[in-house]
Amino acid sequence: MFRRLLTPALFLFSLAACAQSTAPAPTAKPAARPAAASAFVPRAGVDYEVLPVAQPTYGLGKIEVAEVFSYQCIHCAEFQPQVNAWKKTFPADARWEYVPAVFGGTWDNFARAFFAAQILGVQPRTHDAVFKAVFIDKAIKGGSLDDIADMYAKFGVDRDKFLATMKSFGVTAKLNRAKQFALRTGITATPTIIVNGKYRVNVTTDGGFPVMLSTVSYLIGQERAAAAKATAAPPKAAPAPVKKS
């Protein structure tokens, strides 16, 4: 994948590339390394990386699985159907978060669109539709906020209200929070998944998206086991009082 693009003038070229990655992007149907699901153990340093310092999660509650993505990333669009299928068996003790990438230029405009849709309560029903509009229907020509508002209007969203929300202080605050999360967790590519603020999962050429999701499942299990162990551990005994002479 190519380096992320920072200017609206380069928007059309950016539709064919996502953020910089350490490995070439997989094809639409990557082949996973053969492994029984129960026996799968991902490779530390390859399939995932342990963050040097555990970071606060993006949201609160359960085991967090945060996908940093962009509506301008074709690989994120290719990944989305597999995410949809995988989430049907998502464990009850885990929580999925979408975190839009804030890489500058029109990437930020699409991040604003995500947050505006979230605030207005239309994000779940428009998420897949945005990918389709961008990469299949070619409905976006420039990537300005006005262009994006026009696109959401075709989804039945009030255009003026959506445009105003994208420009709001509340969305700007969310944008800054997403940017800080990506910086703290070392995000340089999309899609990237952060598990519980501790692990960074990237796609690999030999595993593709299936192994990426299997790795996430494995790390959820690791976090679950660690939480159970901490709960089961007996409380530390209080220090004996010091007797005064």
Q: How many domains does the chain have?
A: 1
Q: Domain for residue 99, yes or no?
A: yes
**Residue 109 resides in a domain:** yes
Residue 37 lies in a domain: no
Domain boundaries, position 203: 8-21+42-225
Q: Determine, yes or no, domain membership for 242.
A: no
Tell me how far apart the alpha carbons of residues 133 and 191 are, in angstroms, rounded to a whole number.
Answer: 19
Assigned domain for 55 exists: yes
Q: Domain for residue 237, yes or no?
A: no
The Cα 231–Cα 226 span in angstroms is 9
Within-domain flag for 72: yes
Can you give the pLDDT of all 245 residues of the chain as single tens digits?
333 433 343 444 344 347 454 444 444 444 444 444 458 899 999 999 999 999 999 999 999 999 999 999 999 999 999 999 999 999 999 999 999 999 999 999 999 999 999 999 999 999 999 999 999 999 998 899 999 999 999 999 999 999 999 999 999 999 999 999 999 999 999 999 999 999 999 999 999 999 999 999 999 999 999 988 888 766 666 676 766 65
* CATH code, 122: 3.40.30.10
Instruction: Look at residue 31 and tell me if it is in a domain.
Output: no
Per-residue confidence (pLDDT) for residue 159, from 0 to 100: 98
This prediction's pTM: 0.83
